[in-house]
C-alpha cells in the first residue's frame, strides 16, 4: 500500500495530479479541493494516497491532507459508494462539512455532490452516523444557520472526536484543539484544527 507521495508535481488539472518520485510519475485522481491546494507544476508536492485495486485497473487517489483521505475511506466503505462518488462528494464539500452533515442526519447537503441522489445520501448517513456519534452539539451551524454553543469543553471534545474519525490520533487532535477557543462552534474548531495540522504536515 502506498501511503503518500512526495516529489515534483509534473502535471495538475482539476481531476488529475502526477507526482514524479525517483523518476517514476504516479498518476493520482484528486478532488477539486486538493487541486486548489497543489503548487504549480515543477514544485514539490505531497499527497496522501489510497490505492484502489480492481480486476481491470489499479488506481491511486491523492489528497492534500489526512482528513480528506480519512473521509474518502469512510465514504467508500458505504455500500453503493465507489471512489468516483466519494471524490465527487469531497470536491463539493470539505471533510468537516461531510462529518457534520452525517452527524446531524442532514442527507440533503450530501446531494449537492454530482451522482449522489437522496437515497444514496440517506444510506451514507445511515451507515456512517454511528462513526460520528461523538458529534452532538445542540445544533450544527453549517446546517441550520443558528449557532448553538454548548459548553466550551463540550465543543472541544466534539472537535477532537471529529478529527479522530477523520484519521488523526487522539493525541494529534487534542494537541491542536487545546490551543483553540472552545466557545467557537464545532465546525469552526474542526476547520481551524485542520489548518493547523496541515501546517505541521500531519
Among 47, 44, 42, 45, smallest CA distance to 30 is for 47
Contact indicator for 142, 163 with CB cutoff of 8 Å: no
pLDDT at 199: 75
The verdict on domain 141-197 having CATH code 1.10.8.10 is yes
Quote the mean pLDDT of the chain.
83
How far apart are the C-alpha atoms of 113 and 180, rounded to whole Å?
Answer: 31
pLDDT at 151: 42
Q: Which residues of the chain have pLDDT under 70?
A: 132-153, 200-202
pLDDT at 179: 85
| CATH match for 4-63 among 3.30.70.360, 3.40.50.300, 1.10.260.40, 2.40.50.140 | 2.40.50.140
Domain ranges in the chain are 4-63, 66-132, 141-197
Handedness of CA 171, 38, 11, 21 (dihedral sign): negative
pLDDT at 86: 96
pLDDT at 175: 83
Q: What's the CATH class of domain 66-132?
A: mainly alpha
Amino acid at each position: 500500500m502506498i501511503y503518500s507521495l512526495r516529489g515534483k508535481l509534473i502535471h495538475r488539472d482539476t481531476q488529475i495530479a502526477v507526482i514524479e518520485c525517483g523518476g517514476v510519475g504516479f498518476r493520482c485522481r484528486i478532488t477539486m479541493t486538493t487541486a486548489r491546494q497543489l503548487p504549480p507544476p515543477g514544485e514539490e508536492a505531497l499527497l496522501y494516497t489510497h490505492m484502489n485495486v480492481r480486476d481491470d485497473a489499479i488506481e491511486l487517489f491523492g489528497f492534500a491532507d489526512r482528513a480528506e483521505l480519512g473521509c474518502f475511506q469512510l465514504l467508500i466503505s458505504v455500500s453503493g459508494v465507489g471512489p468516483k462518488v466519494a471524490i465527487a462528494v469531497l470536491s463539493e464539500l470539505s471533510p468537516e462539512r461531510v462529518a457534520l452533515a452525517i452527524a446531524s442526519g442532514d442527507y440533503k447537503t450530501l446531494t449537492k455532490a454530482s451522482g449522489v441522489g437522496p437515497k444514496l445520501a440517506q444510506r451514507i448517513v445511515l451507515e456512517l452516523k454511528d462513526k460520528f456519534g461523538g458529534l452532538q452539539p445542540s445544533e450544527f451551524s453549517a446546517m441550520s444557520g443558528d449557532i448553538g454553543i454548548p459548553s466550551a469543553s463540550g465543543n472541544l471534545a466534539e472537535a477532537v472526536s471529529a478529527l479522530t474519525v477523520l484519521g488523526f490520533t487522539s493525541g494529534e487532535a487534542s494537541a491542536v484543539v487545546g490551543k483553540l477557543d472552545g466557545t467557537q462552534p464545532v465546525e469552526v474548531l474542526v476547520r481551524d484544527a485542520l489548518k493547523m495540522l496541515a501546517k505541521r504536515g500531519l
